[in-house]
Amino acid sequence: MQKLKLIAYTDNGFRQQHGFPLDLQLDPEQLRFGSNVHYLEDRQLGSTGGDIRFERYGPTTLDLSFTIDCTGVVEGTERGDNAYGKVREIADLLYVYNSDGHSPSYVKLSYGELLFKGRLRKMETRYALFTSQGVPLRASVQLSFERYMNGEEERKRFGRQSPDMSRLITVREGETLAGLCHRIYGDSLLVRQVARFNDLDGFRRIPAGAELLFPPLEKD
């Protein structure tokens, strides 16, 4: 039977593998997916109501729960194994700062027909069943991931969407944010809103090759 496999990578293209793939000892107890939508509120000062406009989709999340058992009843457990050591292997692979990638690793998770690419957001562990020396033999682990897509995958995704949805644009040499706003929205005065949406300090000098998201905006 196929086990759930975790593979870590140093790069966001999922090409340079970090460490060794890790198979979970037991099948996951739960897989929970989450999706969210971001809206912009158009509300006047002092108003309790107002219109909300679609802004963008947030990344898909995956919560994974499983148990580590080092009591010896699970096949593959070796003498001397303990829950601390097994949890440390997972943390070293997914959580610890990766000096090659200058961040925690990117993760590919596969289980049956499921293939999920993302990054670890949160790791929680609860230990139980201790030896007389205080060493835990069991642990309940919950991992929370956020889906990651690189620029190429984002372009494919947004290229298939309605023109009313956010679009990912790669800035070319000589292009300005004002010019792109005029081309996309028909209004170059929306530059400040686009700059805020992309967390830009300014909008006058955008380097060629920068990738910017242009959300659905309306002229004032």
Classify residue 220: in a domain, yes or no.
no
Q: Which residue type is seen at 218?
A: E
pLDDT at 214: 83
Mean pLDDT computed over every residue of the chain: 82
**70 with 169, same domain?**
no
**94 with 185, same domain?**
no
Domain of 187, CATH number, reads: 3.10.350.10
The pair phi, psi for residue 87, each rounded to 5°, is -70, -35
**121 with 157, same domain?**
no
Q: Pick from 132, 148, 164: which residue ends a domain? A: 148
Whether the CB-CB separation of 162 and 171 falls below 8 Å is answered with no
Closest by CA position to 52, among listed 216, 219, 163, 185: 216
**193 with 130, same domain?**
no
Which one-letter DSSP state was computed for residue 12? T
pLDDT at 136: 95
Pair of tokens at residue 184: 């996309």
Pair of tokens at residue 87: 């949890």
Give the residue carrying structure tokens 């194994």. Answer: 81
Domain of 81, CATH number, reads: 2.40.30.200
Q: What is the mean predicted confidence (pLDDT) over 22-28?
A: 91
**144 with 157, same domain?**
no
**131 with 166, same domain?**
no
pLDDT at 160: 44
Whether the CB-CB separation of 43 and 25 falls below 8 Å is answered with no
Banded model confidence at residue 163, pLDDT cuts 50, 70, 90: very low
Q: Pick from 115, 148, 181: which residue ends a domain? A: 148
**18 with 100, same domain?**
yes
Domain of residue 62 covers: 5-148
Pair of tokens at residue 102: 């200058």
**144 with 163, same domain?**
no
Count of domains in the chain?
Answer: 2
pLDDT at 43: 55
Q: What is the mean predicted confidence (pLDDT) over 30-47?
A: 73
Banded model confidence at residue 162, pLDDT cuts 50, 70, 90: very low
Q: Pick from 133, 148, 163: which residue ends a domain? A: 148
Whether the model clears a pTM of 0.95, i.e. scores above it, the answer is no
The residues with which 52 forms a beta bridge, in sequence order, are: 41
**143 with 178, same domain?**
no
198-218 pLDDT per residue, tens: 777 767 778 787 888 887 776
